[in-house]
């Protein structure tokens, strides 16, 4: 299994409710290499939507897993998280009344480097 897939699987293991969406995403890309930045974009949409629904109980575990993945020295994995997840969350949340600052409380020190 690629390091990228391990990183992604580590993160989504913390959000069981994302699993059906992840499996649907995988089925759409079955015959092709998984576009990891798009996969992180799906997760970003899910996170923003979960916040909007008031479903934040899983955020502590989610962002703890993200923080754990960011301990990896691999620059590509860090970029995947920072660009694929965080920038997408900012973009999606910017179209909501609450904006992206609401997620800051869950971010750890590695996540705040960006």
pLDDT for 32 equals: 85
Mean pLDDT (the chain, rounded): 95
Scored b (16 or more CB within 10 A) or e, 65-77 reads bbbebbebeeeeb
Reported as a single tens digit per residue, the pLDDT across 65-98 is 999 999 999 999 999 999 999 999 999 999 999 9
Q: What is the pLDDT of residue 113?
A: 82
pLDDT of residue 31: 78
pTM for the model = 0.94
Q: What is the pLDDT of residue 37?
A: 96
């Amino acid at each position: 299994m690629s390091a990228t897939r391990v990183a992604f699987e580590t993160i989504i293991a913390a959000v069981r409710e994302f699993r059906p969406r992840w499996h649907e995403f995988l089925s759409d890309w079955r015959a092709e290499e998984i576009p990891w930045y798009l996969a992180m974009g799906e997760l970003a949409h899910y996170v923003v939507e979960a916040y909007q629904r008031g479903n934040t109980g899983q955020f502590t575990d989610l962002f703890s897993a993200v923080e754990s993945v960011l301990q990896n020295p691999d620059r590509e994995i860090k970029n995947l998280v920072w660009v694929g997840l965080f920038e997408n969350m900012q973009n999606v949340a910017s179209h909501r009344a609450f904006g992206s600052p609401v997620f800051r409380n869950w971010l750890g020190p590695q996540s705040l480097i960006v």
